[in-house]
Each structure stands twice: as structure tokens, then as C-alpha cells.
Structure 1
Amino acid sequence: MDFLQLTGKSILVMGAANRKSVAYHVGKLLTEAGADVLWSVRSQARKEQLSKLVGDAPIYVCDVEHQDQIDGLRDAVAKDRDSIHGLVHSIAFADYSAGWLPFHQTPRAAFLQAVDVSCFSLTATCNAFRDLLDSEQGSVVTVSISTTRMAAENYGYMAPVKAALDSSICFLAKSFSGFSKVRFNAVCPGLLKTSASAGIPGYVDSYLFAERATLRKEAVQTAEVANSVAFLLSPRSSGINAQGLVIDAGMETNYFDKQLVQQAIDNQ
């Protein structure tokens, strides 16, 4: 039974880095569901790595910091497909090379680059693909974070950047509604084990704490995020638009977990 109704539908997945990445898990699941998956990666080196995992599936190279490459990606996809049903934006970048800094010392260049790559690239890509997206059932899904209101010091300026991404979803949905029925949503996972997260200072400690703060005492799995992305791409989620779907295993409701509270008291 084709519950997700994605068989034969062409979906562009942007941002796969390796087998640990959210984008790779999404594309793998979509392929298993019968979708026609097209991949976009940042560099030729990434393309060569990904080709070992996805075989003959189309892989395009696009560095979203450059508008001409986004336009080139659109043109290349348009040559290969008459239209696409969905677009997955799983792209984020932050330059932490300066080390941990308090938020008020965020380097201007690093912040603006993060906004460009992690947020504006979604708007730029959707604008480029506006005539290629299925105007009746098209769906765009980006990857955000479970909350942008928790001021995790080590995550720093990326939370405000993700907040801008969350807001962009609403504005894109409204803007596209003037000429199509394309939907825009975000999945907002809690802390995950990915190669990208490994570059965040002190991430492992935060991940272990977040795991203990979930209701089930088990961290969110990348495969669970991929499942949610597939659902939002599917016509089965047709009534969901301009939303952020939080996937954190109940962590946001469990700040006063008695075990964590007791441990804090014992350590006083």
C-alpha cells in the first residue's frame, strides 16, 4: 500500500553530507517509498562521496552562497524533469573557527554568512524553483531546531539564524499562496548525532543532557526526523502549511524531570 502517495514523485533533497546526515536519511526513506529522488550537494567532493551511497541517482552540485549556482541547479533539474513534487532544504553552516564566544561578541561576517547559507538559501532556492514545483500538491520542507528560545551558549548565533528560517517558512507559504498551493513547513528536531553537530563546541555534553531530559530517556533519532519530513512532503499532510513540527521526544515538557532536579540538588 502506497500510504504516503509518493511513488514516482520527483523530490530534490539538498544538503546530504554523509550517511549520518538528515538529508541522506530523508532521501533513503523517500527512495524506499518509491519516490524519484534527486540530490544536491555543495561540492564535487561531496558528490563523489554521495554517489557511493546512492548509485545512479542524479546528483547536482550547488553551493547556495552563489545565486548563479542556484539558478544553474534549477536549469539542470528542469532539463531532467518536467516538474518536481517536493524540495527538502537540509542546509546549515556556522563558522565556529573563532572558538566559543558570548553572543554579544559574535563576528559580523560569521553571522551574515550563517544567515545566507542556513536561512536565505531557502528563499533563494524556492524563488528559483517556483515554476518547477508542482503548483497543486508541491511541498517544501526545511530542517530547523526544536526551539530558538532556549539560549544554549554553545549554539550561539545559530539559534537566531534558525528563528529567521522559521519565520521565512510563514512568509514563503503566504507569498506562494498567491499563485499556487505549494506548502512550506519545517521539521524542528531536538539534538541529533550528525557530522554537522560534531562541529558545535561542547555539543556532546548538551546531547547527553538532552537525552536525559526527554520523556523516554532516549535521544531523538535521525530516522525519526526523516519519517516526519516524508510525511510533510506527502499529500497525506495536505492540511499542514506554514508550521514547524517539533520532534524532541517530549523534552520541551520535561524541564522539571524529578531525576534531573534531584541531581541538581545533590550537586549543590
Structure 2
Amino acid sequence: MPSDFLQLAGKTVLVAGVANRKSVAWHIARLLTEADCRVLYSVRSPERREQIAKLVGSDADIIVCDVEHEAEIAQLAKEVASRTDKLDGMVHSIAFADYQDGLKPFHETSKRAFLRTMDVSCYSFLAMSRELKDVFAHDASVVTISISTTRMASENYGYMAPVKAALDSSLAFLAKSFSAHSEVRFNAVAAGLLKTSASAGIPGYVDSYLFAEQATLRHRAVATEEVASTAVFLVSPRSSGINAQRVVVDAGMETNYFDAEIVRRNVEGS
């Protein structure tokens, strides 16, 4: 097997959303770097840039872009174009849920919270892709991070699931739109429950995570590294035949909700 199996050596990829060592984006960036890929970083604030510089080195290409502001996304594209003639891929690992109003039933979701979450977690994917269109390589690969299912009504995840469903739907429309002038691909890694700093802020998440761990076929939770590895594969030329798809990484959880032991414990405990 060739040492550069993924054919990423010498490629340049933008990774958006690194927050700390627990971030999916951080694991993706690390694996890309190990594959001899040049990584550009997009972070949301100057403070975050300082934090990430301590992880990746002060000489790393770290660009500040708060995706809530379209002018900053346009500036991001200019900054990227000033650093490279060709962007071979982009990883969008950005999500935000506005819990300012506290945890409420879905039907009580405020317009402000829903639209802000949609803006940051979904529309930013479209906007970044649009602004970077001219710097993308003809066959660039764009990957976003989604969730394993948007069809389970988890109370604590609330309106973020419909937002992720919109993100998933955008894959097909972006892929079709870009196909008029390129072979740029758009895919998502649909991850099961993970231990990240962002997930820790979701009310009741720990209990959901522990249940998910029991429900996987291997009875072991999905590791962030596993999600990152899938994302790196999708960024690589080795996944060239995959477009407008969600690749589910949940350790088989969606097949196992009626696991006999889980059912027995719940029935006996009722």
C-alpha cells in the first residue's frame, strides 16, 4: 500500500470550527496535517485565534471569521485566496444553538433562537461555499459535520435537529448547483453522540450519551477520532465517487434500539 493512500500530500484544506482539543475539527485538522496536507484554520474570534495558535503553532494560517456576519465570510474568502491559489477542500464543523431562553418544548422555540441557530449552523455552510467558489479546485471536496439522525425527537436536542436536517438537505442542492461549473463535491459525516465541549452544553446530554453508548452494537460510544477519520476520507480524492451523501458514523446504533437487554431493563424498571 502506498504511504500516501489518501492522496492528500500537498493538498490545501480549510478547516472551520476548531475550538479546543476535543473539537471534531481539531481531530480532523490533526489527521490532515499528519497526511502532509496544508491546513488553513477559520475561527470565530481573535480570542479563539490566540487559543488555537497555542495548539497548532503561532506560524499557522489562522483566519478570524464570525459566520454570523456575511462581510466576514467574504473577507475570509479573500484571506484564503491571498494564501493559496487553490483550495482542495473545506471542512465545515460549525454549530451553535441559542439556549438563551432555557430548555423549552419544541413548539415554544422562539423565532430569534431558531433563525440564529439556522444562520450559524446551516446557512454559513452555503455562504462559505459560495464565497470560496472561485478559489476551490475544480474537484474540491467540501465536508460538513451533521448528526446521525434528525428523525428522533430528542427533547434536549430540540430545534437543532431540524436545523441539521436543513444542513443535510443543502448537500444535494449545493452539489447540483456547483455541478454546472465544476466537480466540487458536498458530503456530510453524520455523527452519533460524541464527547465534545459543545455537546457538554446541551441540557441532559450526558444521559443521552450514556444511553447511546449502550445502544451501539459494540456497546462503546463513537469516538471523535472515528468521525474525524471519516471526514478526512471524504476530503480526500479516494472518495471521489461520493457526492451529496450523508455518511453515518454511529457504531450501528440506529439498528439496535430494540436490543434485548435495553428492552428488558426498561420493562422491568417500569
Q: State the Cα deviation string for residues 173-218 of structure 1 (Å, max 9, x = none).
A: 0000000000000000000000000110000000000000000000
Gaps of at least 5 residues in structure 1 are: none
Secondary structure of 2:142's partner? strand
Give yes or no for the alignment of 1:153 onto 2:155. Answer: yes
How many corresponding residue pairs? 267
Q: Does 1:93 align with 2:117?
A: no
Q: Which of 109, 113, 116 in structure 2 is aligned with 1:110?
A: 113
Output one character per residue of 1:46-78: Cα deviation in whole Å (capped at 9) or x when no partner.
100000110122000000011110010110111
Determine the C-alpha separation between the residues in 2 that align with 1:71 and 1:18.
25
Identical-residue share of aligned pairs (%): 65
Aligned to 1:174: 176
Partner of 2:22: 20
Decide which moves more: 94-103 or 229-238. 94-103
* Structure-2 residue corresponding to 1:233: 235
Between the aligned partners of 2:268 and 2:190, the Cα distance in structure 1 is 33
- Structure 2 gaps, min length 5: none
Match of 1:189 in 2: 191
Return the match for 1:255 from 254, 257, 260.
Answer: 257
Distance 2:232 2:222 in 1: 16
Give the Cα–Cα distance (whole angstroms) in 1 for the partners of residues 100 and 254 of structure 2.
Answer: 30
Instruction: Find the counterpart in structure 1 of residue 207 from structure 2.
Output: 205
RMSD, matched Cα: 0.5
Partner of 1:45: helix, strand, or coil? helix
- Report how far residue 83 of structure 1 moved: 1.0
Q: Distance in 2 between matches of 1:182 and 1:80?
A: 20
CA displacement 1:71-114 (0-9 Å, x = unmatched): 10110111110011000000000011221100000011000000
Supply the distance in 1 between the matched residues of 2:181 and 2:153 (Cα, whole angstroms): 38
SS in 1 for 2:129: helix
Question: Which of 117, 124, 127 is the matching residue for 1:124?
Answer: 127
Q: Distance in 2 between matches of 1:97 and 1:251?
A: 31
Report the Cα distance in structure 2 between the residues aligned to 1:187 and 1:232, rounded to whole angstroms. Answer: 8
User: Once superposed, which parts of structure 1, at least 4 consecutive aligned residues long, lie more than 2 Å away?
Assistant: none
Partner residue in 2 for 1:68: 71
SS in 1 for 2:137: coil
Q: Secondary structure at the match of 2:30?
A: helix
Q: Aligned with 2:91: secondary structure?
A: strand
Write the distance in 2 (CA, Å) between the matches of 1:98 and 1:258. 38
User: What TM-score results when the alignment is normalised by the length of structure 2?
Assistant: 0.98
CA distance in structure 2 between the partners assigned to 1:4 and 1:89 by the alignment: 20
- 1:96 and 1:117 map into 2 onto residues whose CA distance is 14
